[in-house]
Structure 1
Amino acid sequence: MTSLLNRVARTAAAACIAGVLLAGAGRASARPEIPTVTAPAGAVRGRVEGDILSFKGIPYAAPPVGQNRWRPPLPAASWTGVKDASVYGPACIQPTPGAPNVYSDNLGATSEDCLTLNVWTGSTHGKAPVIVWIHGGALVAGSSKERLYDGARLASEGVVVVSINYRLGVLGYLAHPDLSAESPAGISGNYGLLDQIQALRWVQANIEAFGGDPDNVTIAGESAGGLSVMYLLASPLARDLFDKAIAQSAYMISTPELKTARFGAPSAEGAGSALALRLQAPSLRVLRGMDPQTLTDQAAMSGFGPFGVVDGVVLPRQLVDVFDRGEQAQVPILAGFNSGEIRSLRILAPPAPASAADYERIIRERYGDLADEFLRLYPSSGLAESILATTRDALYGWTSERLVRSQTAAGHPSFLYLFDHGYPAADQAGLHGFHASELPYMFGNLQRTPPRWPRIPAEPGEAALSDAMVDYWTSFARTGQPEAGGAPRWSPYAADGAYMAFRAAPEPSAGLMPGMFALHEQTMCRRRAGGSLAWNWNTGLASPVLPPADPACR
């Protein structure tokens, strides 16, 4: 049924485009007219890409430059005439690339004037569901114009796809006492997150002109994009701007607080003040006068780590506390992670000890009464794999299951997945199910991967898996229920712990990694109760000694 509906939607979209673009008085050789849309923000002229219309580089906020650096975003100024929207805008400023890796790609020009978005649509008529994509990159790097994120294939299934840029690194997440002092709310940081919220406001005001339904918006992102999805779920400022959420490889880590050092991290303002000292910048005037690329590179080399800030306004409290109190957005969620997350992120895993005996000794010293369960899940007999699995589960596995548990408990059917797919080039490189490897499949962009990405074979099985994932993702955006023609039913997470495993094909399953969630939930709870330890990648061999059992941690 879903496949039939998808074919009907594609046929209708093609017919609408033919009508809108004036194929040229019946002449077969006539070229279609370039598509123009007049939205409340202004008129834009895009491109025809097969059966899809694309509009790229549309400004959704004023340039955050000069005295607007480190201020909440302002709406973009309206324009007269028709703005060209045929090419992507520049990526936001990010650190100068180092040694290439599997994710490296040429993003072209970067700029502080980067707050733009892109739209793909099958028709400018009607009210199609909307997916707003938030790119990953550790809140440091990345761009909406990465080839993996081309939205044409998703749009061919009858949804409108929007991808956004947002401020990164020190330009997007610096907190500082002087910045807080000049803020009417007395806060600073979270500028990149506020950009995302401004983009969602733009969608509410303008997406209907592109054929989208502002009352059926799904936010979606992977890695730091998944973290951003959780921040948006937690932020009161984003309430009512979206209706569903997709979090891929998200990580519900502890987050710096604006004025208080907690959970092993300095206050966000304190970290900002320390950075200014290292940069020999005695005032905001000096900081705002620095070249943005130089500032970004020097901040990165100084160890500045961009995170959201618990400021009581944009982010009211720690993510785990927001979800435990039921204060998050009350929407369905689709969430999951990949079996080989850390295979391409080995910097997040601690080095192996000299022997299996050393491994067991360290784990017993660090985990105390939880050590037996830890060693059952991550045994010394498979030391290398256990180290990778520990970090994977503490960051991504635990987070994914926590999200669907929280939303299910709140009465919103939610869906869990594990991407455990391999193919020859990835498996030969030791990258089975690596971080972000689901993206070409769920975007339908198997041949749009970065240069060093293991090449996906052009085989029917790969295309079939991608088609199923595209169907599941767009169906969830449409109705809140992921469905795919000819593929198994994806049951919502419930008492049996239902999830979908994506291997050679979708496989309905239940009871993901028994004991995994409970162990990492207990670890987080004890650290939170103690107040002095972070819960993130300091896990397993890298874990500090855990606090003893606490009555608050059942």
Structure 2
Amino acid sequence: MKLHYLACAALALGASPALAQGPIVDAPSGSVRGTLDGSIRTFKGIPYAVPPTGGMRWRPPAPMQSWKGVRDAAKFGAACVQPQGKTLSVYSPAEPLPVSEDCLTLNIWAPADAKRAPVFFWIHGGALTTGSSREAMYDGKRLAGQGVIVVSINYRLGVLGWLAHPALSAESPQKVSGNYGLLDQMAALAWVKHNIAAFGGDPANVTIAGESAGGLSVLFLMQSPLARGTFAKAVAQSAYMVSMPELKKSAYGAPSAEAVGQMLAAGVQAPDVVALRGMDGQTLTDGAAKLGFFPFGVVDGLVLPEQMVATFDKGRQAPVPILAGFNQGEIRSLMMLAPKAPGSAADYEKAIRERYGAFADAFLRLYPAADYKESILATTRDALYGWTAERLVRKQTALGQPAYLYLFDHGTPATAAGGLHAFHASELPYVFGTFDGTPPRWPKVPESDRPLSDAMIDYWASFAKSGKTDQGWPAYGDARNYMHFADTPQAKAGLMPGMYEQYEAVVCRRRAAGVAWNWNVGLASPPLPPKAAGCDQADAAIPAPG
């Protein structure tokens, strides 16, 4: 690549050679100077929207005005404000992330010779509460080395990104509130559509991708009419299609999102929205977390028109190819989601029979009492992640779209020693090839696992390029094909027979009865609701007792 004339001018004025010779891209939103690492150009901390601070809190993101001159893009932007707790886990960073309300930035890794390259748009996880695009595990260099442009983003988190309140709805032209973090993601997609061609990317070939809350965000974007046309494919890793709060009415046993906002305001002793906007962002975020505020997408009739399951049942989601899957040991690092084990196998079986009634025999075949501690973990895993992944590939297949399912079931000596085989998010350093970028308490990933990582990078990159996978990973189809990532990738068919049918039938009855569906399963399940209209087909898929 030729040295940009502005870099030459900076060098003449005495700037450091490393900075002066960094690659410069003249994008429609403004010029940026990044860094060059081998054949990969990197641009960090690029603002994609006006920071929603102070009096601008809880409003949709406003587009950035084009800037003058060349913006330095050599360093990551701050993470969005998030709780500064002291609980340590495998996900905890070495040091607290620098945070700010001025956090709506994105990062780009692009091959130096990119021309109309596919774009991989990464949304970080963290329960919509924590996380950042600056985490080393999300470094896009290895994926970019496969001819893909990687974009990672920040979006508003916690109470600053997902609060609904009657006063916020009243001041909105559309009379809605909440979902601000999701609107941030859409603003970042709009920025990519407007600017990515300058970096060598194809704005018509964008794959949205994410893990955990990032995977959930992928589902939100697939559901939302406002995001239609901004992406062409989707990757959902450990996503969860659970019941959602509704803006103005209680639903499925949960209060309305606006009512939750009012309770939150009272809890932090803020008499009105003006007072909430006047609070320090970190203080408010920490206070909301202590009060148990749980950020989530809100059914508002506009950004998210209805319950997610309803959208996918009706075929109203984005008609795009999908790659989706989950991990064998999801709950091993999320034990707070699993109910406490009873004292004996007999106690377990008795409790399951009380809760699942006519479905109990089928449930116990999937999750037997003989190994009830493992069954408890598998139950929560499948209710959240397994059922969702298979539902996604089924629904996209029904739309005539290529759909690919996987199970990540790989372990290492370190995960075995820590009882964390294939734990939640453990596939990430393999997808990104970032073995040296994991947090300090993360089980060490051995270099001997590079071949598995290289294979996964190839699969993800080929999907981003064409919406299909290469090297023998067949689409889900009628055979219910999937890729089993253990020591090596192996194509198989018929993942966990009966699992999908079990949760599909339970969720159908719960929807009809107005009961929530999330991690309230197994020992934490409410009694199985009675038969309901519209659920006969789902019920029939459950084997009869005996």
Give the TM-score normalised by the residue count of structure 2. Answer: 0.95
Select 2:522's aligned residue among 540, 544, 554: 540
Query: Partner of 2:479 in structure 1?
Result: 496
Does 1:96 find its partner at 2:84? yes
Does 1:516 find its partner at 2:499? yes
1:70 & 1:193 partners in 2: Cα distance? 12
1:505 & 1:172 partners in 2: Cα distance? 40
Q: Deviations over 1:163-193 (max 9, x none)?
A: 0000000000000000000000000000000
* 8 Å contact kept, 1:91–1:107: no
For this pair of structures, how many residues does the alignment match?
525
Query: Partner of 1:223 in structure 2?
Result: 212
Paired amino acid for 2:23: P
* Aligned-partner SS, 1:392: helix
2:347 & 2:395 partners in 1: Cα distance? 37
Quote how far apart the aligned CAs of 1:447 are.
1.8
Structure 1 unaligned runs (5+)? 1-16, 25-29
1:21 & 1:276 partners in 2: Cα distance? 52
* 8 Å contact kept, 1:93–1:110: yes
Does 1:171 find its partner at 2:160? yes
1:50 & 1:305 partners in 2: Cα distance? 43
1:142 & 1:256 partners in 2: Cα distance? 23
1:372-411 map, 5 Å? 372-411=361-400
Quote how far apart the aligned CAs of 1:99 are.
1.8
Select 1:271's aligned residue among 251, 260, 263: 260
* Aligned-partner SS, 2:436: coil
1:100 & 1:185 partners in 2: Cα distance? 41
Paired amino acid for 2:451: A
Query: Partner of 1:466 in structure 2?
Result: 453
Select 2:307's aligned residue among 318, 326, 336: 318
2:312 & 2:87 partners in 1: Cα distance? 38
1:249 & 1:125 partners in 2: Cα distance? 30
Quote how far apart the aligned CAs of 1:119 are.
0.3
Q: Deviations over 1:478-508 (max 9, x none)?
A: 001112xxxx400000111000000001000
Quote how far apart the aligned CAs of 1:551 are.
2.9
Select 1:60's aligned residue among 48, 61, 70: 48
Quote how far apart the aligned CAs of 1:103 are.
0.5
Select 2:349's aligned residue among 353, 356, 360: 360
* 8 Å contact kept, 2:223–2:304: yes
Quote how far apart the aligned CAs of 1:20 are.
5.5
* Aligned-partner SS, 1:194: helix
Paired amino acid for 1:552: G
Select 1:74's aligned residue among 62, 81, 86: 62
Q: Deviations over 1:439-495 (max 9, x none)?
A: 000111122111110011122xx1000000000000000001112xxxx40000011
Quote how far apart the aligned CAs of 1:76 are.
1.4
Quote how far apart the aligned CAs of 1:123 are.
2.3
Quote how far apart the aligned CAs of 1:51 are.
1.8
2:465 & 2:338 partners in 1: Cα distance? 38
1:124 & 1:505 partners in 2: Cα distance? 32
Quote how far apart the aligned CAs of 1:550 are.
1.7
1:332 & 1:339 partners in 2: Cα distance? 24
* 8 Å contact kept, 1:128–1:211: yes
Query: Partner of 1:549 in structure 2?
Result: 531
Quote how far apart the aligned CAs of 1:97 are.
2.6
Paired amino acid for 1:506: P
Query: Partner of 1:8 in structure 2?
Result: none
Quote how far apart the aligned CAs of 1:125 are.
4.6
Query: Partner of 2:542 in structure 1?
Result: none
* 8 Å contact kept, 2:4–2:24: no
Query: Partner of 2:322 in structure 1?
Result: 333
2:245 & 2:161 partners in 1: Cα distance? 15
Give the TM-score normalised by the residue count of structure 1. Answer: 0.93
* Aligned-partner SS, 1:120: strand
Quote how far apart the aligned CAs of 1:428 are.
1.1
Query: Partner of 2:334 in structure 1?
Result: 345
* 8 Å contact kept, 1:148–1:448: yes
Query: Partner of 1:530 in structure 2?
Result: 513
C-alpha change, 1:124 and 1:518, in structure 2 (3 Å) is: same
1:289 & 1:159 partners in 2: Cα distance? 43
Quote the sequence identity (%): 63
RMSD: 1.4
Select 2:102's aligned residue among 113, 120, 134: 113
* 8 Å contact kept, 1:223–1:251: yes
1:363 & 1:373 partners in 2: Cα distance? 11
1:78 & 1:457 partners in 2: Cα distance? 45
Paired amino acid for 1:153: R
